[in-house]
Structure 1
Amino acid sequence: MTFSEELRVAADDVFEGIFQHPFVTGLGKGDLKKEAIIHYVKADFEYLNAFINIYGLAISKSDVRDEMNYFYEQIGFVLHSEIHPHNNLCEVAGVSYEELQGYPLPPTADHYVTHMKTVAMQGSIGELIAALLPCPWTYLEIGHYLNKQYKPQENHPFYDWISFYAQDETASVTTELRKRLDKWAEDAGEKEKQKAKLAFMKSCQLEYLFWEMAYQVEEWPFSLKGKESSYA
């Protein structure tokens, strides 16, 4: 069993929880509250910006040009391809994509980004990949699960979203990251692999909580702008 296979077994309960989350099943049923969709897109736009930053950190930790080029290409995938599922959600919600950009991250998404950036800056390249991997991996499996469970046709409101994450290009991102993580694990010590496993498991659970954050339209308890001063 490869290292990435061991990680998938360890996180199986989390993956199953994600498949059954009401936001995810709402995508399959074509029935989601507009407010939840909008909240998700606002947060995910900024989350993906952070994902791009972390790919940049991966380039800085890479010793060979093959790795540098791979992470560089993934930046392009996030910038130019992942806008398509966002646009599908915006169409269903009846809002433009542009007006949902530039908002502060809700608490859970903020925590997720902080977790990934901390691992990326302080950990090994293996830990960095492990922290990133749950995002494409869970989305790939969500796409396959929803396709199998709900068999959406082209008139399904979230057909483009589901199809995007079930496609070969999305699968290739997960497959390649797994290969690179498994290659790293071949020479890594047990302590290093345990650190990578912890980073992976935290990201898996934060993926689940990201869906919950969107579904519950989670906000900060008080305004991030603070109280306006009454002093002249």
Structure 2
Amino acid sequence: MNIQTGPDTTPECIKGTFFARLRNAAPAAWQGYVGHPFVRGMADGTLDPARFRAFLMQDYLYLLNYARAYALAVYKSDSFEEMRESADIVAGILNTEMAMHFSYCEGWGLSRAEMEAHPPAQELRAYAGFILDRAQAGDLLDLLVALSACLVGYGEIGLALANDPATVREGNPYFSWVSVYADEPYQDLMRRGLSRLDIVAARRGGVARLPELTRLFTTAVSLETAFWTAGQAEMT
């Protein structure tokens, strides 16, 4: 199965956004991420369940750090409006994405206590360290760019797989994961994140900073890809 997320299948909500500039500036890295063999294994149902369960535990730990990093966006904001916009996204992560993750993991027999007690993988430590460093050292635009690879990538993957007739639905234990990220609650969160990035990029000279932001974005995408690769090896 070859997952295509090129120009013809780019979600409409991405087209014309500042994120699209970043995505289009790093096509090979982006395709390696959204079309990773781990993703293909979920699409056709051939992924080893033990590896998927290990991934779910690491993903939960990552989301905790992701929420912490996004919470710093409130601190990095220069106005009440920016603070409120950042707080809305944090609330979406905690109340929508995390809630979806808890519910989904319960279906795989994973409790919150079990996931919180699981040791973080090396790849998780590297990725979490990167986004938290950007949260503290960079400005608000740096932070949003670093976080966008995860927020938009999962939404694009979910939508691409849900719309791909080659994706196995019947009897596929991972199709429910696809649905989580393809369905409206997460897609709405992704659209809000894209809009937020557009606004902040316009306010903070995003076009002029595109070369440096592309490097930052490409690093984030590479770390996301490494997370998938580690999942294939069953993170321990």
Q: In which range does the TM-score fall when normalised by the shorter chain?
A: 0.7 to 0.9
The TM-score normalised by the length of structure 1 is 0.82
**CA separation in 1, counterparts of 2:138 and 2:41?**
36
Task: Give 1:38-57 correspondences, 5 Å limit.
Answer: 38-57=53-72
Distance 1:59 1:218, change over 3 A: same
Cα deviation code 1:52-107 (max 9, x no counterpart): 11111100011223322232233333223334245435534x44454222323211
- The count of residues paired between Structure 1 and Structure 2 equals 218
Aligned to 1:72: 87
Matched, 1:166 2:182: yes
Give 5+ residue unaligned stretches, structure 2: 1-15
Q: Percent identity?
A: 27
Distance 1:180 1:31, change over 3 A: same
**CA separation in 2, counterparts of 1:167 and 1:49?**
22
Q: 1:201 aligns with which of 214, 218, 227?
A: 218
**Helix, strand or coil: the match of 1:164?**
helix
**CA separation in 2, counterparts of 1:203 and 1:139?**
13
Distance 1:139 1:3, change over 3 A: same
Which letter does structure 1 place at the counterpart of 2:231? A
The two structures, once aligned, show a CA RMSD in angstroms of 2.4
Task: Give 1:1-232 correspondences, 5 Å limit.
Answer: 3-82=18-97, 83-85=99-101, 87-88=103-104, 91-92=107-108, 94-149=109-164, 150-151=166-167, 153=169, 156-186=172-202, 187-188=204-205, 192-219=209-236
Distance 1:77 1:31, change over 3 A: farther
Give 5+ residue unaligned stretches, structure 1: 220-232
**Kept after mapping to 1: 8 A contact 2:43/2:161:** yes
**Kept after mapping to 2: 8 A contact 1:85/1:160:** no
Q: Following TM superposition, by how much is the alpha carbon of 1:113 offset from its aligned partner in structure 2, in angstroms? A: 0.7
